[in-house]
Amino acid sequence: MKKILVNLGDRSYDVLIGKGIISRLPKLLKGIVGTPKVLLITSQSINRLYGKQIAKLLKGSRFEVTVCLLPEGETAKAERQLFRIYSTALKAGLDRFSGMVALGGGAVGDVAGFAASTYLRGVAFINIPTTLLAQVDSAIGGKTAINLKEAKNLVGTFYQPRLVLSDIDLITSLPKREYLSSIGEIIKYGVIASPSLFRYLENNASGLLKRKPAVLEKVIAESSLIKAKVVEMDERELTGFRAILNYGHTFGHAYEKVAGYGALRHGEAVAVGMCEAARLAEKKMLLKPLDRIRIENLVEKLQLPTTTGKRSLSPRLLREAMMKDKKKKGKEVRYILPIRIGKVIPVAIDPYSLF
């Protein structure tokens, strides 16, 4: 097992990564909550796969567990679901010293974190991520959110969990495409902050594709550490430092939007976005051709796309999508570009000069 401390003063917490570590949950939870009442927030399919066993494990340690089932995926991040969590918690008698436990992907984690941050002005939140994306990214850092019909993630809070438990046994059931697309974010961590993680990925691509536990434990721990360090530097996205996590995302979000949500998975769009940002950096003489080639090769080796392929995405729509990006500064958009493996910088560019 690996343990990473997210060091945020009195909001510090551990991220635990390992195989089979879910068995430690009852003991860990006892150190966090002050009452036996816990609300387990998950979805139907994840409840069937893991939730029932986890509830049993907790009940065996005299916890009183109430389960709140949310719809699968993004539909969980809705106002109606948030209010269902509140009323389930209320009915179950959760008080200020009780805990809410999220068991699921980023969607369940985002809405459960929001609920925990606002129910009775905040109760202890424990996150058990079940997707690779949630383990390396969304479970760490304290961003919570729901979607409004106008836009995604429009309403939310910054609220750190008290514990993140990333058990690699829980991601064995992930469908292949879901699993692969999350690897995009792991490559991102290598490019933005860690030449050694990047090299490890180059050398262990096949182990990662085969979901070898030792490889998974290493890459999830390294990724979690980088995310933790970035969050420690800029917890509330105020200094601009957290923006390095957007590498590949300005292009990626535009591809996702223009291709139509669902056509390209988030991680796939980010993979193309990282390659495009590397090509742009090379064009601007910021990145050596060899490093651009290494990025493209690694993306390809991990079975992710390096271009949008045969999809003909309208340049006008892509430009418009990028101009709407939150990171816009006047007419220019701030792109995070690599200058070598392990280092990125923000560069303001007019998207009209790109297409």
Ligand X SMILES: NC(=O)c1ccc[n+]([C@@H]2O[C@H](COP(=O)([O-])OP(=O)(O)OC[C@H]3O[C@@H](n4cnc5c(N)ncnc54)[C@H](O)[C@@H]3O)[C@@H](O)[C@H]2O)c1
Q: Which residues are catalytic?
A: 121, 143, 185, 227, 237, 242, 246, 249, 253, 266
Q: Which member of 81, 127, 138, 160 binds ligand X (CB under 6 A)?
A: 138
Beta bridge partners of 328: 333
9 near 29, Cβ under 8 Å?
Answer: no
Closest CB 244 distance from ligand X, rounded Å? 14
Q: Are 72 and 141 in contact (CB under 8 A)?
A: no
Other CB atoms within 10 A of residue 334 CB? 18
Query: d(Cα 42, Cα 50) in Å, to the nearest integer?
Result: 10
Residue 105 makes contact with ligand X by CB under 6 A: yes
Does 131 participate in binding ligand X (rule CB under 6 A)? yes
CA gap 167, 179 in Å, rounded: 15
| 324 CB-near residues (< 8 Å, 6+ apart) | none
Least distance (Å) between residue 84 CB and ligand X: 17
CB of residue 294 vs ligand X: minimum separation in angstroms?
A: 25
Within 8 A by CB and 6+ apart from 348, the residues are 329, 332, 333, 334, 335
Tell me if 73 contacts ligand X by CB under 6 A: yes
Among 174, 216, 269, 299, binds ligand X (CB under 6 A): 174
Report the Cα 298 to chain-centroid distance in Å.
20
Handedness of CA 293, 295, 301, 306 (dihedral sign): negative
Residue ranges in 11-70 that form contacts with ligand X under rule CB under 6 A: 43, 45-46, 49
Does 110 engage in binding with ligand X (CB under 6 A)? Answer: yes
Note whether 157 binds ligand X by CB under 6 A.
no
In the bound state with ligand X, the residue whose beta carbon lies nearer, of 137 and 222, is 137
Of 245 and 287, CB closest to ligand X = 245
> Whole-number minimum distance, CB 170 to ligand X, in Å?
5
Per CB under 6 A, which of residues 242..301 are in contact with ligand X? Answer: none
Number of shown-chain residues binding ligand X (CB under 6 A): 28
Contacts of 306 (CB under 8 A, 6+ apart): 271, 272, 275, 296, 299, 300
171 binds ligand X (CB under 6 A): yes
Cβ at position 92, least distance to ligand X in Å:
23
CB 76 within 8 A of CB 70: yes
Closest approach of ligand X to the CB of residue 95, in Å: 26
Pick the closer one to ligand X by CB: 73 or 213: 73
Binding of ligand X by 128 (CB under 6 A): no
User: For residue 300, which of 224, 205, 225 has the smallest C-alpha distance?
Assistant: 205
Return residues touching ligand X (CB under 6 A): 43, 45-46, 49, 72-74, 77, 104-108, 110, 130-131, 133-134, 137-138, 141, 143, 153, 170-171, 173-174, 178
